[in-house]
Each structure stands twice: as structure tokens, then as C-alpha cells.
Amino acid sequence: MDIHQNARLTLRSREALVECVTGGLRFSRAAANFQVTPKTVAKWVRRFQQEGTAGLRDRSSRPHRSPRATSSSRVALVLALRRQRRPAYHIARSTGLSPATVSRILRRAGLSRWRDLHPAPPVVRYEHAAPGDLLHLDIKGLTRFQQVCWRGDGRRRGRHKHPGWEALHVAIDDHSRLAFTRILPDQKTDSTIAFLKEAVDFFARHGITVRALLTDNGSSYRAHQFRQACLQMGLKHRRTRPYSPQTNGKAERFIQTALREWAYAMHWPDSEQRNLALAPWTHYYNFQRPHGSLHYQPPISRSEPGTTS
């Protein structure tokens, strides 16, 4: 219950006050005991007699009548103009209302911002019925790094070239969330095809036969060689709509989890040490880490029986 900021009595104090008066204590004595006026005591006693315990709660300060309130027809006109993409100042001129009044109407209706006129589409979550029905593939570029020696004045010692880039390739089974990862030198087509073959072998060792792939529109996934490799392996390949990463959300979510719990979990001395820690972390993710969408069971709990580590 919301209590007025200047209220002397809380709900429990009001109940105690009423009990004292009902027990025979005079209004003036009760007012002195609770440090309020006799008029306040009489008010709470009267409300308790009329409404019971519910009468001891604070009432809304809104008046019963508002003769100068904006009529419902003008409010409807303001909302109709807003849904026609009219700015608030234009609506104020068209309806004869003040900009402040128009602003309050739009805010109460949830239409005060332009993005409120274009609400985001509802999130459509999906999950395939069996392991191997769909495999999500994605790639995250990572920077190589090495220890840097610093001079006493804060400058680097010598000239250092940029150490370059490498790629985190990930494959996630849609049903079980079982993951396979590799750090490869680049995101080129040959590296991507080699990773795909390793991923299919990995899932086969865990009793999962991959039947379809879902990737984004990266150049390696659009390459003719990748399409031929999918045909030779009997895999159906689908790509997401452009600029729709949520379609491949399981891989995107896994990458964010990996960056938070593996790549950025500690200060690595160099990228080699970071990369060596990827395989143990992936094994922990698959076999031990609770997964929220799996009722806090690890992904291996959803793979077929007879799996190996």
C-alpha cells in the first residue's frame, strides 16, 4: 500500500488507534498518544465504522468530478491523429489543445515516442523436435594479442605490428544445445568447410546425425564450395534473412555466453593461453553447465543415449 509522504500514521498505527478508541480511550487522549489531532482521530474512527479495515487505507486524491477535463471525443481525435504519424505540436494546433495536454494524452496512451507507433514484432521462439534436425553455425572474429613491454614514460618499447585476427567457429544443435567450437586462423571458405566436417563428426560421436544447417549470409556460407560440400554430405542448408540475427539466435546467444564466461572471464597473458582454455570451457558447457532453456540441465542431457565425452 502507498502511504502519503506526509502521513503521520501507517496502516498498523491506524488500526492501533481505532482499537484504543474502541476500547474506551477518549479522542483527545488518543490524539496525544499518537501525536495527531483529535480531528484526525475522528476521521479514522468514522472510516473504520463505515468501511471496516479497508477504510483505514489511503484514498486516491483524484477529484470525483473534473469539469475542465479534456473530453473523450477530443482525446480520441488526438490519438487518431497520432496514429497518422502527426507530430505532437501539429496535433496541438489542429485540436486547439495545449502542447502539454497533448503530451499527457499521448504519454497515458503509450504513444509519446515515435517507436511506440512501430512496436517490435513478437519474438517467435522455435525448437526442433529431435537432435540433428538443425545445426546453427556462426563465426566470431577475435583479435590476437600478446604481452606489451612499456617504457617508464608510458610509451611502448619499439614498433609493434597489429598481431592480426582469428575466428571462433561455433556449431550449436538446435534441440539439445550441444556445442562444438574451434579457433581457426580465418573465416575463409576452406576453413569453414573443414570446421563443418569436424562438427558433423563431433555430433556423430554423440549419437546425433546432422540433417540441416542454418547460417547467416557471410561470404564463406554463400560460397559455391560450401554449397557443394553440403550437398556431398547430404545436408540441407538454409540462410537467415539479411539483418535478422535473431533467426540464428541460439548461435548468437552461445557466442555471447562464450565471450562472457571464457574469452573475457580473466586477464589472459596472451591469445594463445586464451585459446587453450576454449576446449575445457566448451566441455564444461556441454556436460556440466546448467542451461536455462533446458530446465537447468546441461545440453548433453538432451542428446541420444550412449554418448561419449
Per-residue pLDDT reduced to its tens digit, 267-284: 998 899 999 999 999 999
pLDDT band with cut points at 50, 70 and 90 for residue 5: low
Q: 307 in a domain, yes or no? A: no
* Percentage of the chain exceeding pLDDT 70: 91
Instruction: Work out the number of other CB atoms within 10 angstroms of the CB of residue 192.
Output: 24
Residues 184, 271 share a domain? yes
Residues 189, 51 share a domain? no
**Average pLDDT of the residues in 29-45:** 92
Amino acid at 222: R
User: 70 phi and psi, to 5 degrees?
Assistant: -65, 135
**Average pLDDT of the residues in 17-28:** 92
Residues 92, 167 share a domain? no
Q: 17 in a domain, yes or no? A: yes
Q: 249 in a domain, yes or no? A: yes
Residues 78, 41 share a domain? no
Residues 287, 142 share a domain? yes
pLDDT of residue 151: 55
Q: 240 in a domain, yes or no? A: yes
b/e map 259-295, b = 16+ CB within 10 Å: eeebbeeeebeebeebbeebeebbeebbeebebeeee
Q: 122 in a domain, yes or no? A: no
pLDDT band with cut points at 50, 70 and 90 for residue 11: confident
pLDDT digits (tens, 9 = 90+) for 101-147: 999 999 999 999 988 888 877 777 888 999 999 999 999 999 988 75
Q: 208 in a domain, yes or no? A: yes
Residues 139, 273 share a domain? yes
Residues 283, 181 share a domain? yes
Q: 41 in a domain, yes or no? A: yes
pLDDT digits (tens, 9 = 90+) for 194-232: 999 999 999 999 999 999 999 999 999 999 999 999 999
pTM of the model: 0.65
How many Å is the maximal CA-CA distance in the chain?
95
* Domain span including residue 29: 11-56
Closest CA to 282 of 295, 268, 300: 300
pLDDT of residue 306: 42
Residues 270, 139 share a domain? yes
Residues 179, 272 share a domain? yes
pLDDT band with cut points at 50, 70 and 90 for residue 42: very high
Q: 238 in a domain, yes or no? A: yes
pLDDT of residue 307: 44
Number of structural domains in the chain: 3
Question: What is the side-by-side strand order in the sheet with 236-239?
Answer: 179-184, 165-173, 135-143, 212-215, 236-239
* pLDDT tops 80 at residue 255: yes
* pLDDT tops 90 at residue 38: yes
* pLDDT tops 60 at residue 305: no
* pLDDT tops 60 at residue 4: yes
Residues 221, 93 share a domain? no
Residues 239, 271 share a domain? yes
CATH label of the domain that carries residue 186: 3.30.420.10
Residues 84, 33 share a domain? no
